[in-house]
Amino acid sequence: MKTVYDFTVKDMDGKDVSLADYHGKVLLIVNTATGCGFTPHYDPLEAMYAEFRDKGFEILDFPCNQFANQAPGTDKEISDFCAINFGTEFPQFTKIDVNGENADPLFVYLATEKPFEGFGRGLKNAALNKFAEMNNKVFGDKAYIKWNFTKFLVDREGKVIARFEPTVDMEDVKKAVAAAL
């Protein structure tokens, strides 16, 4: 059975990193953007990381510019922005595509394991759904991720156990992380 440990990704310096290096840890894998309305999620993400990293928790941050060009900078610019504005210390990887023909295989796997089930109810969620639908028409059946700050929770054995759309309250994400630990 395939797990996240079967994947290799690129770090900020372009070097291969096997996700098997994270075996035994609870992971929150996130596609991010620096110019998104959800960019403030970096604050609660960093707070979670500070609180739980000594208990075997890691956040893996993958910048992506496929949603309204909200991550246009270089890897270094994105990394500097996150460190300066949010004090992030969790691992950040090179910018990737999460949708389309060039989608990173890790995100194809994650989205296949936990497919999109909607943004939820409410006006904000309905508005985001319209933006996502317009954006994702370009990718057709390869629109795996619907927007920035989609989060996947992975257990200590590398199995994807939850998907959180960016509209999910970060306290709910934190509760799920704590339960997985």
Please say whether the beta carbons of 141 and 160 come within 8 A. Answer: no
Beta-bridge partners for 163 = 152
Can you say how many angstroms the Cα of residue 89 is from the centroid of all Cα atoms in its chain?
A: 15
Please say whether the beta carbons of 165 and 119 come within 8 A. Answer: yes
Catalytic hit among 4, 17, 33, 36: 36
| Known catalytic membership, residue 36 | yes
Burial 166-178 (b: 16+ CB within 10 A, else e): bbbebeebbebbe
Query: Token digits for 102?
Result: 């060039």
Rounded to 5 degrees, what angle do the CA atoms 61, 96, 87 make?
A: 30
Name the DSSP class of 159. -
- Residues involved in catalysis: 36
